[in-house]
Structure 1
Amino acid sequence: MAIREIVTFPDERLRQICAPVTEFDAALKELTDDMFETMYDDEGIGLAAPQIGIEKRIVVIDIPEEDGKQGKNKLVLINPKITAKEGEVASEEGCLSVPEYRAEIKRYEKITLECQDLNGQKQIYEADGLLAICMQHELDHLDGKLFIDYLSRLKRDRLLTKYRKLKKEQARAHE
């Protein structure tokens, strides 16, 4: 297993629409293991493949237990799609690809999600609460969408200006 570098906003790779997974092999298992390790290293609860520069429809999620520990609720979602949705809920979200920024976003309260597991077998999940929110957030990544796309244009533009300035400062520091 290896910790991969997380692609951060405004990198254009985050805007790509990901291709379906067609091979369910040892390389896929290794990739999802790396994704979990990367997610845990950055204290996340979900990670989509494009966040590590892989344009494939792969998501890993691990919602912590009541005591905050992770590892018991690991989900690997291959080629996921939401097939039913209902209600609306607002929640504060953050993203490993948009570090140090959080915003209130409206999502569906309950969803049904179909996907494949690491063996290519069809899985169906009915989710609500934090799991439903996390699933929707991560699936957005597979279609080149970020949670900040739900913000007003003014807030998005301010954030973009801030991140571009930060990227320039980081680039100068590495010269």
Structure 2
Amino acid sequence: MDHNERLLIVDDDEMFCHVMQRALTRRGYEVSIAHDADAAMALVRQAPPDLATLDLKLEHSSGLKLLPELLAVAPDCRVVVLTGYSSIATAVEAIKLGAVNYLCKPVDADEIVTAFDRESGDPDIDIADNPPSINRVTWEHIQKVLQEHDGNISATARALGMHRRTLQRKLQKRPVRR
């Protein structure tokens, strides 16, 4: 399978990048890697990618902030947002900002390739019988408010009526399962 498409991986997890680069190169993609938003934009300006994966949480930025910048320079690029911290709010925002898909880590190369190739939604997707737990709803609400305050922890804590350190502790925990 020879794609000859340029694919940019933007993720601050070096091991994840290395594994994905090897796997996607074997599938015929020309893969570039950036570990932060500045390096990503330098690569995009140098050679606009056909495809890109953006990590939602970069060390000093957000994939959601980088997404419109990337698409402004490379409007035909198909972008998949990847995250280990999924929430409904960030998924909706990623799609509104131009991503073609949103995947929760851990993911493998085949899932990424499939996500790029999907042209439309799946009306037959399984709908969960049980509602999300209160802990999950809380996690998603915090993510939504954090997004509304552009990632500002202090402003988010004030909006949620909690101490900043309490919010920081909650954010350091992995998201709760449904």
Q: TM-score range by the shorter chain?
A: under 0.3
| TM-score for both structures, normalised by structure 1 | 0.25
| TM-score for both structures, normalised by structure 2 | 0.25
Point out the structure with the larger strand share: 1
Point out the structure with the larger helix share: 2
